[in-house]
Amino acid sequence: MRQEDQGPFTRIRPFDAKRTCLLLVDVQNYVWNPDVAQRLPYFDAQLREVVLPNLRRLVDAFRGAGAEVLYTVIENLTKDGRDRSLDYKLSDFFVGKGSWEAKVLDALAPGDDDIVLPKTSSGVFNSTNIEYLLRNMDIETLVVTGFLTDQCVDHTIRDAADRGFYPICVADACATHSQSRHDAALKAFNGYCRTMTTAEVLREIAVADARAAAR
């Protein structure tokens, strides 16, 4: 049976600006900076040539449609990082409170009224109040983008699905350190979400805008 034929139990849903949120996961200086670019040339090229332009297009389209744009960043809530998850401590993930590394990339800077959530674990639903916020804003569909596909993006999609949201992964607006890791992640969490391209998401927004204008 095709997903479209499963009645109310389907991930194929028309775009609704009031019920949809674009989430940018860890698009920050800690994840991409000159040092990272030098060490990880594939990742650097993928961000410059594909992911960042697509993220910019998505942010502009969502803002233009009046939909929510939300950011998460890895950032300690305390100066010494004692609030970090055990995994982040063991992995030596330390992003100072208010530091340059914690800031969103300039190319994707948040708007004056956008929400930026600092998190101290891979799973944004585990270490922030994102679910509370999404419920308060009547969000049903979470469009997930950002870094890294096989780590924090993966966690976000699985957790969103388990909590009753409709996650969408925009495959060409996410990245990790190799193409093989990216492809494997998309395949692994495919059953938890609808996977789309940037062009497909923009097309659905345009269709929704046209319908609204015709009313």
- CATH classification of the domain holding 130: 3.40.50.850
Catalytically active residues, by annotation: 152
3 close to 11: Cβ distance less than 8 angstroms: yes
> Is 70 exceeded by the pLDDT of residue 107?
yes
Whether 32 maps to a domain, the answer reads yes
Any domain includes 6 = no
Residue 15: which pLDDT band, with cuts at 50, 70 and 90?
confident
Alpha helices in 7-51 (DSSP H): 34-39, 41-46
In this prediction, residue 2 carries a pLDDT of 44
Task: Indicate whether 7 belongs to any domain.
Answer: no
Domain range for 122 is: 16-209
CA dihedral 105, 49, 177, 151 (to 10 degrees): 50
Instruction: Give me the number of domains the chain comprises.
Output: 1
Q: Is residue 46 part of a domain?
A: yes
Q: Give the H or E element holding residue 86.
A: helix 86-90
Choose among 211, 208, 173: nearest CA to 15.
Answer: 208
In a domain, 152, yes or no: yes
CA nearest 141: which of 52, 23, 7?
A: 23
**62 in a domain, yes or no?**
yes
Q: What is the pLDDT of residue 80?
A: 96
d(CA 104, CA 95): 12
Domain annotation covers residue 82: yes
pLDDT of residue 6: 53
Is 76 part of any domain? yes
Does the pLDDT value for residue 46 go beyond 60?
Answer: yes
